[in-house]
Amino acid sequence: MRRFNINKALKSLAMITDVVVIGAGPAGTTIGGKIASAGFDVLIVEKADFPGHKKACGGAISRSFFMELGLPKEIIEKESKKIVVHYSTGSVELSSESGFTVFERERFDSFLAQKAEENGARLWTSTIVTDATVKSEGATIHYKKLQREEKGKVRARFVVFAD
């Protein structure tokens, strides 16, 4: 008689959710939060230890856009009427009537992720998506927990690639 292996059976089970969002950058957390607030079950998967961690970015957006996003003033590092962007072959100076706000991406991305969670999305950090198979009946997302050497899969009706 074949013996039933409970550990093997549990491992083959996949979590089921409505939507998996890959990447907790501004795109992922904004769309993830919006879908969650519409009543869907949303899981956002981020490989970094926390949103915005070690992200190469100048962190400057126009002040009017900053206000439009409803971001808290506490995350502002600096405000300026003009910014200069340097790149390998030159530089360009940008100015704006309303000015620019400059912030650290860690604080910016973490704030947006917190908003998404407040709207009902779940956030998994330190988790890398290693594979995603999308079929008409849904998607299977394979992940690896980076701090625990744990692998698994999630089945979802929809997947958002925001990586």
Ligand X SMILES: Cc1cc2nc3c(=O)[nH]c(=O)nc-3n(C[C@H](O)[C@H](O)[C@H](O)COP(=O)(O)OP(=O)(O)OC[C@H]3O[C@@H](n4cnc5c(N)ncnc54)[C@H](O)[C@@H]3O)c2cc1C
Q: Which residue is nearest to ligand X (CB)?
A: 25
Report the interface residues with ligand X, using CB under 6 A: 22-28, 45-48, 56-61, 128-129, 162-163
Q: Give the single-character DSSP code of 4.
A: P
Q: How far apart are CA 114 and CA 123, in angstroms?
A: 9
Shortest CA distance to 50 belongs to which of 114, 119, 130? 114
Which residue's entry shows tokens 């992720």? 113
Q: How far is the CB of 144 from ligand X (least distance, A)?
A: 9
Find the shortest distance in angstroms from Cβ 163 to ligand X: 3
- Tell me the helix, strand and coil percentages in the chain, rounded to 5: 25, 45, 30
Q: Is 24 exposed, middle or buried (0-12, 13-18, 19+ CB in 10 A)?
A: buried
Nearer to ligand X, 75 or 128 (CB): 128
Which CB atom, from 16 or from 57, has the smaller least distance to ligand X?
57
Kindly state the smallest distance separating residue 47's Cβ from ligand X, in Å.
Answer: 4
Residues contacting 64, CB < 8 A, separation 6+: 96, 98
Report the residue number, 14 or 27, with the smaller CB distance to ligand X: 27
**50: which 2 tokens?**
């926390």
CB neighbour class for 97 (10 Å; exposed up to 12, middle 13-18, buried from 19): exposed
Q: How far is the CB of 93 from ligand X (least distance, A)?
A: 14
Closest CB to ligand X among residues 5, 131: 131
Least distance in angstroms from the C-beta of 60 to ligand X: 4
| Residue closer to ligand X, measured from CB, 5 or 49 | 49
